[in-house]
Amino acid sequence: MLLRFQQWNRHAKIWLWVITLIGVAAAMPLGLVRMEMEKTSKNVEYVFDYRDIVEVSDLQAEPRAFVKEKLGLLKESGITTMAVYESSLKELVQSGRLMYFSARDAALLQGKFETTGQNYTYILFSGKEEEEQIGPIVREAFDRSEAAYRDWSFEGRNGLVVEMPVAEAVMKTMDFDPMTLQELRDADFKILPRISNKIQPYDQADLDRQLGMMSEFGVTKVLFDGDNVKGGSDKESLLGVSELLIKYNMGLIAVENLKKQPKGLNNLAYNTDYNLVRLYSLSAEDGMEMSPGAIADRFLLAAKDRNIRMFFLNGMVEGNSDKGKFVHNLDKLSQAMRGDSGTVATLAEHGFVPGEPQAFDYDQPSWSKPLRAVVALGAIALITLMAGAFVPGVSIPVFLIGLVGSAGLYKLNSSIMEQALALGAAIAAPTLALIWAMNRITSRTVGDRRIVGGDDWSVGRSQASIAADEQVPAGEKNGRLKWVFAAPSVSKRLGLAINWFVVTALISLIAVPLVFGLLNNITYNLVLEQFRGVSVLHLAPIALVAIYVLLYTGHAEQFNVRKLLAQPITLTWVLLVAVIGAVGYYYLSRTGNAGSVSSIELVIRNILEKTFGVRPRFKEFLLSHPLFLLGLFLSLRYRAAWLLVIVGSIGQLSMVDTFAHLHTPLHISAIRVLLGLGAGAVIGCILIVAWQIVEGVLRKWAPILIRKYGK
């Protein structure tokens, strides 16, 4: 019975590969559906923060004239939309709508003594129009706070006395300034309202009135400001907000790189059928420091690689002691947007024309769900194959456990199940690929091996050392670590290395369709949901392959931990650790969104972007793939070259990780990986040629130098 079970497990390996490939085939139509969806939105919109313009104007000699001038300049440069916030007393003062005073300042204004025992806020409207349009939103704000107030006037201006300290009054959130909305509309700007959840409790009728007013001003999208969307405190309120957004045909906006999206945004997106676009915000500091060309490159990369369709620019002003004045970035940002080489023209040249950005046309066909089930089976089979590589004879039970476990997890949370299988497949494919490569190396190097200094390499070997080596008993020779193998010809080694390089890449890429097939949901494209565990993918295959080499290769007994710890620490070991540490540090520094980038690399990135339209990942084509190919070539002769193979394996998992960035268009990821493989192979071949030249020089001159200067 046991023998029969073992036979079934051996046959199961073939069937597992068949199921895996069927899963890969099933994922392809899902990928085509995603690619069609990614073509449905190409218009981009440029938004400027109107509040920033007003704050900069507050430090100018003629604020109102300054605002008018800069609005015209930004309009000419391609900015089509102004973002406006809910009002406050401070912003209304900056806009010239009113003035407010403390009790002491009001007394001084009237030439009176301050009334003791009072700490009220005194408000004066700038004119009759301001009183008519701004007065109601100011009174409404204090009514919500149940603050007592009364009419007040001074020198022909009307206002209010609010029985509330100034420090508290300026914190009250008020409705949007209708005069500002009209001025921006008259200046031919579209309006992007930033609505907060500060006004409590939530009032459905008030939001209906507010969105109705915004609709009259042509508003088509809403950007929620703060940690919660409007009505984000409970599900019933969220449902009411969703109904109003649908009523007025207004879409949502998700800001990229927020640590956490506003609470309730996912619910609103779901309720509105994902009528949502992604926005990139250029920080005020970057807008002040970056060159116009760098801004254009960043916006283009965001549009192409991350499906960004709205760009938000922030103004900034700072004091310059050398010039003795305040300096702002409004003119610089305007310059960055305009001209033939400006941001607007650059993006338009690549197909991202200014216009009303549309949400992706997301419509999953009825057959997608059964296909995803087949893809899930393929992922379970691939994970089972990886488990079988480490623990032979468990393929059938592991596959059955995977089926039952996945079914149970699907009932609990389908998203977690899909992500778990996608992560497992993403780890399994590069691991199996590298195990295959290591097994090929082992099969070619086991047997006819020799120590450095044999017939071909007599460098550094005295006759005494050779004689001493010949006296070593055969049993001890078999246990000694041999570092140089009897290698085939250079052309054959090169052919084998290229063949292994290609096959290893193909095995690694098996995971790609399984990942995008399992995670074929609009929530990932819009980054409303993220693929968890990607950080595990960066290290797990390397660790698993290292374990496999130590435990399962033909020379595992030579890597005895006790013997290794007993070895003396030499300069070679120190240099080896230093190299591994430097590579590891570089790898980790490049991992994730916060990875560091050198100035030299930025230049190379720009060259690649302009040459190919899509830049391959730096750590793939310039580090991992070349070292991997060089390592495969050298490993047929030198055992130490296995280190290059392990380091180069980073590129295998990086290729899968490229497709794990689900907000990147699928065709962009494919081009990036193929360019990385091609460029990496070319650089790897150059390294091989360089090695052969160096090796030839050493072969010729090292013996001569040793005979001349050695003893």
Return the number of other C-beta atoms located less than 10 Å from residue 277's C-beta. 24
DSSP string, 542-609: HHHHHHHHHHHSTTGGGG-HHHHHHS---HHHHHHHHHHHHHHHHHHHTSSTT----HHHHHHHHHHH
pLDDT score for 710: 58
Average confidence score pLDDT of the chain: 85
Tens digits of residue pLDDT in 662-672: 999 999 999 99
Judged against a pLDDT cut of 70, whether residue 451 lies above it is answered with no
Contact 28, 514 (CB under 8 A): no
Q: Which two tokens stand for residue 101?
A: 């005073």
pLDDT score for 228: 93
Return the number of other C-beta atoms located less than 10 Å from residue 680's C-beta. 26
Q: Facing residues of 228 across strands?
A: 263
DSSP string, 322-346: TTTEEEESHHHHHHHHSSTTSHHHH
Tens digits of residue pLDDT in 471-515: 444 444 444 445 677 778 889 999 999 999 999 999 999 999 999
- Of 238, 649, 633, 189, nearest to 441 by C-alpha is 633
Rounded CA-CA distance 396/275 in Å is 45
Give yes or no for a cis peptide into 513 (omega within 30° of 0). no
pLDDT score for 359: 94
Residues 6 or more apart whose CB falls under 8 angstroms from that of 44 comprise: 303, 308, 309, 310, 311, 347, 352, 353, 354, 355, 357
Tens digits of residue pLDDT in 173-208: 999 999 999 999 999 999 999 999 998 889 999 999
pLDDT score for 709: 63
By CB atoms closer than 10 A (0-12, 13-18, 19+), residue 339 is middle
**Does the CA dihedral 618-619-623-627 come out positive or negative?**
negative
Return the number of other C-beta atoms located less than 10 Å from residue 406's C-beta. 21
Q: Identify the band that residue 257 occupies on the pLDDT scale cut at 50, 70 and 90.
A: confident
Torsion of CA 583, 586, 589, 590, to 10 degrees: -100
Judged against a pLDDT cut of 50, whether residue 8 lies above it is answered with yes
pLDDT score for 232: 84
Return the number of other C-beta atoms located less than 10 Å from residue 640's C-beta. 14
394 or 460, greater pLDDT? 394
Of 282-296, 448-462, 583-597, the range with the lowest mean pLDDT is 448-462
Rounded CA-CA distance 625/239 in Å is 51
Tens digits of residue pLDDT in 74-116: 999 999 999 999 999 999 999 999 999 999 999 998 888 877 7
Q: Identify the band that residue 214 occupies on the pLDDT scale cut at 50, 70 and 90.
A: very high
Judged against a pLDDT cut of 50, whether residue 458 lies above it is answered with no
pLDDT score for 87: 95
Judged against a pLDDT cut of 80, whether residue 12 lies above it is answered with yes
pLDDT score for 448: 43
Q: Which two tokens stand for residue 396?
A: 């059938």
Please give the model's pTM, rounded to 2 decimal places: 0.85
Q: What is the 3-state secondary structure (H, E, C) of 239-308?
A: HHHHHHHHHCCCEEEEECCCCCCCECHHHHHHHCCCCEEEEEEECHHHHHHCCHHHHHHHHHHHHHHCCE
Contact 342, 77 (CB under 8 A): yes
Of 216-220, 296-300, 301-305, 455-459, the range with the lowest mean pLDDT is 455-459
Q: Facing residues of 160 across strands?
A: 123, 151
Of 340-354, 537-551, 579-593, the range with the lowest mean pLDDT is 579-593
Question: Stretch 157-168: mean pLDDT, rounded?
Answer: 95
pLDDT score for 461: 40
Contact 20, 334 (CB under 8 A): no
| Residue 448 per-residue DSSP state | S
Rg of the Cα trace of the chain? 34
Domain boundaries along the sequence of the chain: 2-36+364-448+486-709, 41-85+178-359, 87-175, 452-483
Q: Which two tokens stand for residue 466?
A: 């050779």
Tens digits of residue pLDDT in 408-424: 999 999 999 999 999 99
Fold of 41-85+178-359: TIM Barrel (3.20.20)
Tens digits of residue pLDDT in 349-369: 999 999 999 999 988 889 999
Helix axes 625-635, 414-445, angle to 10 degrees: 30
Q: Which two tokens stand for residue 326?
A: 């305040």
Strands 251-255 and 308-313 come out as unpaired
